[in-house]
Amino acid sequence: MTADAGTFGSPEQVRLQYKSIDMREQIESTPGLCHTGRLVGSDDPSALGWDFFEEHLKEDGFVGFRCLLPERAHAVRVWGAKLGGIHEWAVMLGTSEDLRASATAIGQRPLSSGFRDVGPEEMAADASLSQMQALLVDAGIAPLARASLRGDIYPSACVGVSGPDGSLVAVANVAMPFNRFSEWQDAAWIGLVAVAPGCRGLGLGARVSAAAALAGLEKLGARRAMAFVADDNAPSRAMLLRIGLQVSTLRSIIVGHRPTR
């Protein structure tokens, strides 16, 4: 575990953040595992076997599966139906070309007076990441440790928008969570998008999502990007379409209780 992981949240959330950090080497060296920052995750459960996931499900209350092809998603549903709740998200994908065109256009729109973009370098500071963690919790999103957000554990960067008083009012994260064995090793994941209640409806969610997409391409070296969206979350789906992502046939699934919205 890192000397100063910068964990945040409830005791259980902190435990899971440390577990994710402690599993870093195992995740990097094991086909089928991927980083999530807060639960055991996999993009290919067949590479590990159901006993592996059942052990962690008993320990943590949930396990996650990302970017599943339809047949893999079906296998997870069959296995998970016997062990706990099943929560699903659609996977949205975008090429670097589509993302650059759409995200750049969004980033070029002027912000209201007093608001400004906060890039990855400034967001990497502990003070900025601590603000981000608090904003995530206020939005009902389970936070990650600062070490994970900053990129100390796996490639990751954060972006934001600050308001007139200088505090963050919108944030997003982009990360490269898949190891070298994965077919998704060149893909960035865009998530942890949160906007302060008083600043919603201003297009800031789309702005930080677009900035995260560009940071994934330019800072992390991604060749494509993805995001997960609930089937009934039409506003988020529309926002992700605006930044250049399209709905795919892939699914992301959590088995067990749901750790975040």
| Predicted pLDDT at 261 | 56
pLDDT band at 95 (very low <50, low <70, confident <90, very high): very high
Residue 200 lies in a domain: yes
Query: How far is Cα 147 from Cα 6, in angstroms, rounded to an integer?
Result: 6
| Predicted pLDDT at 258 | 73
Average pLDDT over residues 184-211: 97
Q: Which domain does 218 fall in, by range?
A: 11-256
Residues of the chain above pLDDT 90, percent: 95
Residue 3 lies in a domain: no
How far is C-alpha 188 from the chain's CA centre?
9
Average pLDDT over residues 220-241: 97
4 burial (CB, 10 Å; 0-12 / 13-18 / 19+) is exposed
Average pLDDT over residues 98-104: 96
Query: How far is Cα 76 from Cα 85, in angstroms, rounded to an integer?
Result: 12
Q: Domain tally for the chain?
A: 1
What's the mean per-residue pLDDT of the chain?
A: 96
Q: What is the DSSP string of the chain?
A: --TT----SSHHHHHHHHHHHHTHHHHHHSTTEE--SSS-EES-GGGT-HHHHHHHHHHHSEEEEEEE-HHHHHHHHHHHTTTS-EEEEEEEEEEHHHHHHHHHHHHTSPPPTT-EEE-HHHHTSHHHHHHHHHHHHHTT-----HHHHHTSSSSEEEEEEE-TTSSEEEEEEEE--B-TTSTTTTEEEEEEEEE-GGGTTSSHHHHHHHHHHHHHHHTS--SEEEEEE-TT-HHHHHHHHHTT-EEEEEEEEEEES----
| Predicted pLDDT at 84 | 80
235 burial (CB, 10 Å; 0-12 / 13-18 / 19+) is exposed
Query: How far is Cα 190 from Cα 106, in angstroms, rounded to an integer?
Result: 16
pLDDT band at 257 (very low <50, low <70, confident <90, very high): confident
Average pLDDT over residues 51-58: 97
Residue 103 lies in a domain: yes
Q: What is the CA radius of gyration of the chain?
A: 17
- 92 pLDDT higher than 70: yes
Please answer whether residues 53 and 212 qualify as being in contact, where contact means their C-beta atoms are separated by less than 8 angstroms. no
Read off the CATH number of the domain in which 157 is found: 3.40.630.30
pLDDT digit string, tens, across residues 119-160 = 999 999 999 999 999 999 999 999 999 999 999 999 999 999
Residue 125 lies in a domain: yes
- Phi then psi for residue 68, to 5 deg, are -85, 130
| Predicted pLDDT at 254 | 97
Residue 5 lies in a domain: no
pLDDT band at 260 (very low <50, low <70, confident <90, very high): low
pTM tops 0.85: yes
| Predicted pLDDT at 228 | 98
| Predicted pLDDT at 3 | 57
Residues of the chain above pLDDT 70, percent: 98
- 1 pLDDT higher than 50: no
CA atoms within 13 A on the CB side of 164: 5
Residue 261 lies in a domain: no
| Phi-psi category of residue 2: left, alpha or beta, with phi > 0 → left and psi -120 to 50 → alpha | beta
Residue 120 lies in a domain: yes
| Both structure tokens of 205 | 């969610």
Residue 1 lies in a domain: no
